[in-house]
Structure 1
Amino acid sequence: MAYIKARRGVSPRQMKAILVVCMLAVGIPVGAWVSGSWSAAAMSVEFAVVGLGVGLVAIQWLAGPSMRKALAERGQAYEQPLTLRLTSEALIYDLADLTMIARWPCVTDLYQTRKYWVFLVQSSAMVLPRHFFTTPEAERDFIAEAASRMTEAARARSPDATRIVGG
């Protein structure tokens, strides 16, 4: 989701970097002023940054199991059947009991992450796991077909799709 959020504005990774820079930029001078020692201030802020890093790793480690548990409590399966269809008029995304239909002019970007292809549709995302494709050729053919239906402006914002189709 970080990639999706980054396309809409500041990504979670950028937020984390800003937070660390602010901790250093404010923490060291204020710590030095309070303690009277630049080295003591730098050490305390460095330990705070390490603590922040450990906390972020812990949060990411717990996120998956907690998501599975939250879905189970609501009677939802963690994995659900997904179908993504390309028609001449629209992109149709069927996920279990949810169907989203996006006319091609609404598709603003198509980009690749390590594990997914993501269609941005205005401010929503349609996410297609890359493991759905049995071969690299099948993936390239599908992306080529999708890109051919997108507007010229959307293709211009989709260098990952252009790269895989061209190469």
Structure 2
Amino acid sequence: MRLITLLLILSFSTSTFGWLSNHASAQRVLLFEKLTASQSDRMYEGEWLKFRLKGDNFYQEGPIREMRPDIQALVINDRFVMLDEIELVNRGKTFGAAAGYSLMTFGVGWSFWSLAGNYTDGNPLTKYESRDLMITLTSVGTGFLINKIFGQRKFKPNKYRRLRVVDTSF
């Protein structure tokens, strides 16, 4: 009797959860699609999006509160943003940003410790020279350029790339 009761409870609970999962609200996804790529990057509701609208010189930022696949729009900061109006999406920092900041930190540290050694030990062989300045300027300049060129991942929609909101309900 206990076995039959246990099997009935197990059967009822799995069928109930299966029925509830079929009627749950579907998840909407913002896709960053490229023409030549078979996979695309995704963002979900609640994630932060940093973007620039066409004709603006500044970035806007906020959490995605709602995605509307019927009109291809997002609700960010309590206002509708049409996907056609987005000129550029900032997708975050890359390894280039970390490498650039590391090189700049190395250059400043090199100069700092060279100057500290110059003023504390009084040895004429360890004075601050032009080569120390060149090492500092080279590493800071290279780090700055690497950070500017490779530091940000940006997605610019055009005829080969597009933004699209997809509803995954069946």
> TM-score, normalised to structure 1's length?
0.27
User: More strand per residue: 1 or 2?
Assistant: 2
Larger radius of gyration: 2
Relative contact order (C-alpha < 8 Å, sep 6+): which is higher? 2
